[in-house]
């Protein structure tokens, strides 16, 4: 079949059937988002016995943000909602609204929840940090806080980040309101109180810059070792993984393995990989390599339970607020387009790499008694491109392609295969290419599933 202009007869029919045709196209485009991997990340992760999680903001869990959070991930971490300043802004007055909302959303979507976080030096309520307390009073306040919050969600959470960020970079204990007043054994106490309030939640110590083997991660290792020797309840370590483009810690898998060998689980709890803005195709490609390396390391170690990204879209990331000129750290753009990093995660969990980041959609712009005009659009995400393409589908109701333009199509039985013309094989990063065809139908004209590859 040779490329040609749309015949006059077809154009007239397009005009005549315009309203119905527009509706058909709109429906098809809505029903067939060109941007999601198939299957979703959570299904892929499950095949590797891992969880894929994201930090979320409760108020955003509607529309596209809610759809993606619910369908792509099987674990949620409240980004801020369970922190002490959020749940007890005034002494004795609790606000569980956002935390409850996130837990309810997770239950409705068959997701785990990681509680975050019970003991930290940040995001404590002003009444606590500005108060004057004896060590004994602080101990009681902390015990009450842990007991109240853990009891509220007893049996509902998979895990708690009980203690957050206890170490300095050199592996010494960070001076905080807790270590200064209660000594470093506040960690053992916090874990013991959490276990008493919910015997089923896995209890973690969580920190950043502990992804590779270094002084800080060795301090965490020694802490866990001594807690276990003392019989203090400790189930896992959280490696936050707030990384910088191109600075993947090459000893990550070895580090995960040494904690596993100690007898605790490991979770990547806050993964993001920031870059200097603006993002470019080259940076997004490097970011995908880095994301894949992190997820691969988790997949390689049985006791690594999974990976949580710290916000799944760039519009919900802490990075631009804190690192001037940096951003684009998550797997989705601000407009919810999956980035190469998204497809890299999918690939780590066993997704197919072919044409990843590009997708084809089939629509029927016009249709009349025995004929129709079809259109296929191939779209690539930012950072992904094609230099040639082949699209195929199988008709389910006896349709036949009679003529195509901007592609060379062949039909054998019900199977149609179309390849690019000499002049339109390139689908640019973030761009699209379309081709059209005329066909015949009778009875009905269902939309086939289209494969790009």
Structure-token match 């068959």, residue found: 110
* Minimum CB–partner distance for residue 210 and ligand 9MR (Å): 12
Query: Which residue number, 59 or 415, has a Cβ lying nearer to ligand 9MR?
Result: 59
| Residue 211 known to be catalytic | no
CB 355 within 8 A of CB 452: yes
Sign of CA dihedral 218, 220, 225, 229: positive
Which one from 98, 165, 211, 356 is the annotated catalytic residue?
A: 165
- Classify residue 175 by its DSSP letter: P
Query: Interface residues for ligand 9MR in 164-183 (CB under 6 A)?
Result: 164
Give dist(CA 188, CA 217) in Å, integer: 18
Check binding of 75 to ligand 9MR (CB under 6 A): no
CB 194 within 8 A of CB 150: yes
* Minimum CB–partner distance for residue 318 and ligand 9MR (Å): 4
Give dist(CA 302, CA 203) in Å, integer: 18
Check binding of 59 to ligand 9MR (CB under 6 A): no
Strand 432-440 relative to strand 371-380: parallel, antiparallel, unpaired? antiparallel
Q: Which of 209, 240, 286, 313 binds ligand 9MR (CB under 6 A)?
A: 240
| Residue 356 known to be catalytic | no
* Minimum CB–partner distance for residue 346 and ligand 9MR (Å): 24
Spell out the residues 6+ positions from residue 144 whose beta carbon is closer than 8 angstroms to its own. Answer: none
Check binding of 399 to ligand 9MR (CB under 6 A): no
Check binding of 123 to ligand 9MR (CB under 6 A): yes
Q: How many CB atoms lie within 10 A of CB 238?
A: 29
Residue nearest to ligand 9MR (CB): 318
Count of residues near ligand 9MR by CB under 6 A: 8
Query: Which residue number, 96 or 368, has a Cβ lying nearer to ligand 9MR?
Result: 96
Query: Which residue number, 127 or 318, has a Cβ lying nearer to ligand 9MR?
Result: 318
Give dist(CA 438, CA 215) in Å, integer: 67
Q: Which of 94, 127, 173, 318 binds ligand 9MR (CB under 6 A)?
A: 318
Q: Which of 95, 122, 148, 254 binds ligand 9MR (CB under 6 A)?
A: 122
Closest CA to 393 of 452, 319, 305, 327: 452
Query: Which residue number, 79 or 340, has a Cβ lying nearer to ligand 9MR?
Result: 79
Query: Which residue number, 106 or 380, has a Cβ lying nearer to ligand 9MR?
Result: 106
Cis peptide before 39 (omega within 30 of 0): yes
* Minimum CB–partner distance for residue 151 and ligand 9MR (Å): 22
Strands laid side by side in the 400-405 sheet: 358-367, 371-380, 432-440, 400-405
Give, for 70, the enclosing helix (H) or strand (E): helix 63-72
* Minimum CB–partner distance for residue 182 and ligand 9MR (Å): 21
Q: Which of 53, 78, 79, 338 binds ligand 9MR (CB under 6 A)?
A: 79
Cis peptide before 10 (omega within 30 of 0): no
Q: Which of 270, 290, 314, 356 binds ligand 9MR (CB under 6 A)?
A: 270
CB 147 within 8 A of CB 87: no
Query: Which residue number, 235 or 270, has a Cβ lying nearer to ligand 9MR?
Result: 270
Check binding of 80 to ligand 9MR (CB under 6 A): yes
CB 435 within 8 A of CB 407: yes
- Classify residue 332 by its DSSP letter: B
Which one from 88, 98, 149, 270 is the annotated catalytic residue?
A: 270
* Minimum CB–partner distance for residue 349 and ligand 9MR (Å): 24
Query: Which residue number, 164 or 337, has a Cβ lying nearer to ligand 9MR?
Result: 164
* Minimum CB–partner distance for residue 355 and ligand 9MR (Å): 34
Spell out the residues 6+ positions from residue 419 whose beta carbon is closer than 8 angstroms to its own. Answer: 388, 389, 390, 391, 407, 408
Structure-token match 């295969």, residue found: 417
Query: Which residue number, 75 or 164, has a Cβ lying nearer to ligand 9MR?
Result: 164
Q: How many CB atoms lie within 10 A of CB 289?
A: 15
Instruction: Reduce the DSSP state of residue 139 to 3 states and report it.
Output: helix
Binding site for ligand 9MR (CB under 6 A): 79-80, 122-123, 164, 240, 270, 318
Catalytic residues: 165, 270
């Amino acid at each position: 079949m040779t490329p040609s202009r749309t015949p006059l007869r077809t154009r007239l029919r397009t005009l005549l059937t315009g309203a119905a045709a527009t509706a058909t196209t709109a429906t098809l485009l809505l029903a067939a988002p060109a941007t999601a991997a198939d299957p979703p990340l959570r299904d892929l992760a499950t095949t590797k016995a891992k969880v894929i999680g994201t930090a979320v903001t409760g108020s955003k869990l509607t529309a596209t943000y809610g759809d993606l959070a619910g369908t792509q991930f099987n674990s949620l971490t409240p980004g801020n909602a369970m922190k002490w300043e959020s749940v007890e802004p005034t002494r004795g007055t609790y606000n569980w609204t956002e935390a409850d909302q996130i837990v309810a959303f997770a239950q409705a979507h068959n997701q785990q929840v990681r509680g975050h976080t019970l003991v930290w030096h940040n995001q404590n309520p002003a009444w606590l940090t500005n108060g004057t307390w004896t060590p004994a009073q602080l101990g009681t306040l902390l015990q009450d806080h842990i007991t109240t919050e853990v009891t509220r969600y007893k049996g509902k959470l998979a895990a708690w980040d009980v203690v957050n960020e206890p170490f300095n970079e050199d592996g010494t204990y960070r001076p905080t309101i807790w270590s200064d007043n209660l000594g470093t054994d506040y960690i053992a106490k916090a874990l013991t109180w959490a276990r008493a309030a919910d015997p089923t939640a896995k209890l973690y110590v969580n920190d950043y810059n502990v992804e590779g083997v270094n002084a800080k991660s060795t301090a965490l290792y020694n802490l866990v070792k001594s807690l276990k020797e003392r019989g203090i309840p400790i189930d896992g370590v959280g490696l936050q993984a707030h990384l910088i483009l191109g600075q993947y810690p090459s000893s990550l898998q070895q580090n995960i393995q040494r904690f596993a060998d100690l007898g605790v689980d490991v979770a990547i709890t806050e993964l993001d990989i920031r870059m200097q803005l603006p993002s470019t195709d080259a940076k997004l490609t490097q970011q995908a390599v880095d994301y894949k390396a992190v997820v691969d390391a988790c997949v390689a170690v049985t006791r690594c339970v999974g990976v949580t990204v710290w916000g799944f879209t760039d519009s919900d990331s802490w990075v631009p607020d804190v690192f001037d000129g940096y951003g684009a750290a998550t797997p989705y753009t601000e407009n919810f387009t999956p980035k190469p990093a998204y497809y890299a995660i999918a690939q780590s969990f066993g997704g197919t790499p072919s044409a990843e980041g590009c997708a084809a959609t089939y629509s029927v712009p016009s249709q009349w008694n025995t004929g129709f005009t079809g259109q296929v659009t191939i779209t690539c995400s930012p950072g992904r491109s094609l230099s040639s393409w082949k699209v195929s589908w199988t008709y389910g109701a006896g349709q036949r392609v009679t003529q195509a333009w901007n592609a060379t199509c062949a039909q054998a039985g019900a199977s149609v295969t179309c390849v690019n013309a000499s002049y339109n094989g390139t689908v640019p990063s973030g761009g699209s290419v379309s081709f059209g065809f005329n066909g015949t139908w009778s009875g009905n004209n269902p939309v086939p599933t289209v494969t790009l590859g």
